[in-house]
C-alpha cells in the first residue's frame, strides 16, 4: 500500500489530498503543514474576511471531520527541514522523520520585506489566516493605513480598507499599479478605479525615511519629499518562493522555481505544484511559474491524477481573478509586455477584454467585468489556432473558437 506525504497545507496540498481520494487512491495520505490553522481559502484573506463580512469558519476549505472521513492525516505546525530522496524520508524541525512512497510539495512563498523597514509592531505582511486576523484587528483601530506595493494583494487590501472607510495611502514604485502583471494601459485603469474610490495613490514613489515612536511607525517621508502620518503599514511587495526544502532534497531548482515536467513531476515519485512549480506546460509549449491561488489548486488536482492513475499531462490553462470594489478581473493564459495587445469592449465603462497575441496565436486574455469573453478567450488559448487582430477586435469571439 502506497503512502503519499504532502508538504504544505495550501491550495496545492489540500486539493491534492482530496483529489487522490476522489480518484480512488486507497493508501495513506498525510499533510504536513507549517501553518497553525487547517487549510483555508486564501482569497478571502484580503477581502471578505478582512472586512469582517464573513466569520472565520467560512474561510476553511473543509471541516475537521472531512479529513477524518477521507482518512487524511492533517498534521499542523509541522515544518520539514530536509530529508533524503533515495531513502524516501523527510526530517522534521525539532526532530523526527516521516517516510513516504510518493512526495508532494506545495510550499508556497514568504512575503518579501524591503531593506530598511523597521521591525515595528504595526508593520505587517499578509500571507496566512493569522496575518489576516491581525491586520483586520489593526484596521479596526487605524485611521491612515499605508500600503506599500500596488500588486494584487496591496490593491485588494487597499480596496478593503477603503470600503471600511479608512484614509488609505497606497504607494507603488512603478508608474502604474499592476503594470508588470497586466501592462501599463490596464494599470492606468486600475489607478483610476482606486482614485475614484478615494485612495491616495502615489506612483513612482517609495519610502525614503521611516519615522518610529514607541515601537510603531508613525510617519514616512516619501521620495517626493512629502511627510505623511500613518498608523498601520502593510508591505505587499511580492513573495520569495520557499525553495529551501527542494534545494536540500536536491531537486532541480531553476531560478525561482522547481523544474517539473508536463505532469508536474520533479523527480521519481516527487511532484511539485503551486508557487514554486516551474511547469513545462504542454499546451503553452514553455515552462511557466504562476503565483495564484486557482493555479495552485488546479495543479494539486492535476498531480493527483498522475499519482492515482499514472502519468498524465496537466493541460489546464492558468487562470486567476481579483475583485476590487465592484470590479471583477479575470485572466487566462500567460502573456508578456512583448505580446501584441488587442482590445475590445468599453474601456471607459470598465467592461472590456484584452487579447495578447504571440506569433498570431492567443497567449493570454484579460477581462474586466466581461466573464463570457474571458471564458471564450481561454478556449482560443487552448486550441492554438492562429487568429487575426481584426477578428479579435470585431468578430464574435464564439465564432472563432
State the DSSP string of 227-276: EEE-SEEEE-S-EEE--HHHHHHT--EETTEEEE-TTSEEETTEEE-GGG
Q: What is the pLDDT of residues 344-380, one digit of tens each?
A: 999 999 999 999 999 999 999 999 999 999 999 999 9
pLDDT category of residue 137 using cuts at 50, 70 and 90? very high
- CATH of segment(s) 326-400: 3.30.390.30
Q: Give the residue carrying C-alpha cell 524516501.
A: 88
Tell me the mean pLDDT in the region 202-206: 97
pLDDT category of residue 165 using cuts at 50, 70 and 90? very high
> Would you call 227 exposed, middle or buried from its count of C-beta atoms within 10 A (0-12, 13-18, 19+)?
exposed
pLDDT category of residue 400 using cuts at 50, 70 and 90? confident
Q: How many CB atoms lie within 10 A of CB 68?
A: 11
Sheet containing 265-267: order of strands:
72-75, 28-32, 3-7, 102-105, 270-272, 265-267
Residue 291, pLDDT score: 96
The phi-psi region of residue 249 (left if phi > 0; otherwise alpha if psi is between -120 and 50; otherwise beta) is alpha
Distance CA 131, CA 37 (A): 11
Q: What is the pLDDT of residues 243-260, one digit of tens each?
A: 999 999 999 999 999 999
**pLDDT at residue 185 greater than cutoff 60:** yes
Distance CA 264, CA 301 (A): 11
Q: Percent of the chain, pLDDT > 70?
A: 100
**pLDDT at residue 32 greater than cutoff 80:** yes
- Phi/psi of residue 159, each to 5°? -65, -40
Domain with residues 3-109+240-309, CATH architecture: 3-Layer(bba) Sandwich (3.50)
Domain with residues 113-235, CATH architecture: 3-Layer(bba) Sandwich (3.50)
Spatial CB neighbours of 25, under 8 Å, sequence gap ≥ 6: 2, 4, 304, 307, 308
Same fold across 3-109+240-309 and 113-235: yes
Secondary structure element (H or E) that encloses residue 190, with its range: helix 184-196
DSSP letter at 44 equals G
Residue 89, pLDDT score: 98
Domain boundaries, the chain: 3-109+240-309, 113-235, 326-400
Tell me the mean pLDDT in the region 11-38: 98
Tell me the mean pLDDT in the region 152-163: 96
Residue 397, pLDDT score: 82
Write out the DSSP string of 10-43: SHHHHHHHHHHHHTT--SEEEEE-SSSS--B-GG
Spatial CB neighbours of 289, under 8 Å, sequence gap ≥ 6: 241, 256, 257, 275, 276, 277, 278, 279
- Among residues 345, 335, 351, 340, the alpha carbon closest in space to that of 388 is found at 340
Distances in Å between the Cα of 383 and the Cα atoms of 229, 283, 314, 315, 343 are: 53, 9, 15, 12, 20
pLDDT category of residue 1 using cuts at 50, 70 and 90? low
pLDDT category of residue 394 using cuts at 50, 70 and 90? confident
Residue 336, pLDDT score: 81
Q: What is the pTM of this model?
A: 0.96
Q: What is the pLDDT of residues 301-357, one digit of tens each?
A: 999 999 999 999 999 999 999 999 999 999 999 988 788 999 999 999 999 999 999
Tell me the mean pLDDT in the region 32-48: 98
Q: What is the pLDDT of residues 82-134, one digit of tens each?
A: 999 999 999 999 999 999 999 999 999 999 999 999 999 999 999 999 999 99
pLDDT category of residue 396 using cuts at 50, 70 and 90? confident
Half-sphere exposure of 234 (CA within 13 A, CB side): 31
pLDDT category of residue 182 using cuts at 50, 70 and 90? confident
Spatial CB neighbours of 225, under 8 Å, sequence gap ≥ 6: none
> CA end-to-end span of the chain, whole Å?
45
Amino acid at each position: 500500500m502506497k503512502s503519499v506525504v504532502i508538504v504544505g497545507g495550501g491550495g496545492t496540498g489540500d486539493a491534492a489530498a482530496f483529489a487522490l481520494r476522489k480518484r480512488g487512491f486507497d493508501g495513506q495520505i498525510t499533510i504536513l503543514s507549517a501553518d497553525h490553522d487547517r487549510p483555508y481559502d486564501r482569497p478571502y484573506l484580503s477581502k471578505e474576511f478582512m472586512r469582517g463580512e464573513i466569520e472565520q469558519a467560512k474561510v476553511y476549505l473543509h471541516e475537521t471531520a472531512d479529513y477524518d472521513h477521507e482518512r487524511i492525516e492533517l498534521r499542523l505546525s509541522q515544518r520539514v527541514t530536509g530529508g533524503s530522496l533515495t531513502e524516501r524520508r523527510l526530517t522534521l524541525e525539532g526532530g523526527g522523520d516521516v517516510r513516504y512512497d510518493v512526495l508532494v510539495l506545495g510550499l508556497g512563498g514568504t512575503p518579501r520585506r524591503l531593506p530598511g523597514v523597521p521591525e515595528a509592531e504595526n508593520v505587517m505582511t499578509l500571507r496566512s489566516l493569522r496575518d489576516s486576523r491581525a491586520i483586520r484587528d489593526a484596521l479596526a483601530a487605524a485611521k491612515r493605513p499605508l500600503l506599500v506595493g500596488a500588486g494584487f494583494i496591496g490593491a485588494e487590501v487597499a480596496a478593503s480598507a477603503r470600503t471600511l472607510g479608512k484614509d488609505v495611502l497606497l504607494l507603488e514604485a512603478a508608474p502604474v499599479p499592476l503594470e508588470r502583471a497586466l501592462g501599463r494601459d490596464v494599470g492606468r485603469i486600475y489607478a483610476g478605479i482606486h482614485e475614484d474610490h478615494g485612495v491616495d495613490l502615489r506612483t513612482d514613489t517609495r519610502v525614503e525615511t521611516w519615522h518610529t515612536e514607541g515601537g510603531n511607525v508613525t510617519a514616512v517621508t516619501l521620495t517626493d519629499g512629502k511627510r505623511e502620518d500613518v498608523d498601520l503599514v502593510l508591505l505587499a511587495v511580492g513573495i520569495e518562493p520557499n525553495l529551501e526544502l527542494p534545494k536540500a532534497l536536491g531537486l532541480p531548482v531553476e531560478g525561482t522555481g522547481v523544474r517539473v515536467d508536463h505532469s508536474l513531476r520533479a523527480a521519481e515519485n516527487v511532484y511539485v505544484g503551486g508557487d514554486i512549480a516551474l511547469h513545462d506546460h504542454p499546451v503553452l509549449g514553455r515552462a511557466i511559474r504562476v503565483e495564484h491561488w486557482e493555479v495552485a489548486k488546479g495543479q494539486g488536482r492535476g498531480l493527483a491524477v498522475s499519482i492515482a492513475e499514472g502519468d498524465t499531462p496537466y493541460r489546464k490553462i492558468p487562470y486567476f481573478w481579483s475583485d476590487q470594489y465592484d470590479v471583477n478581473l479575470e485572466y487566462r493564459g500567460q502573456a508578456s509586455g512583448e505580446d501584441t495587445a488587442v482590445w475590445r469592449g468599453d474601456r471607459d465603462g470598465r467592461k472590456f477584454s484584452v487579447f495578447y497575441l504571440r506569433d498570431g496565436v492567443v497567449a493570454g486574455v484579460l477581462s474586466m467585468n466581461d466573464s463570457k469573453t474571458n471564458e471564450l478567450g481561454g478556449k482560443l488559448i487552448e486550441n492554438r489556432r492562429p487568429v487575426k487582430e481584426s477578428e479579435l477586435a470585431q468578430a464574435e469571439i464564439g465564432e472563432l473558437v
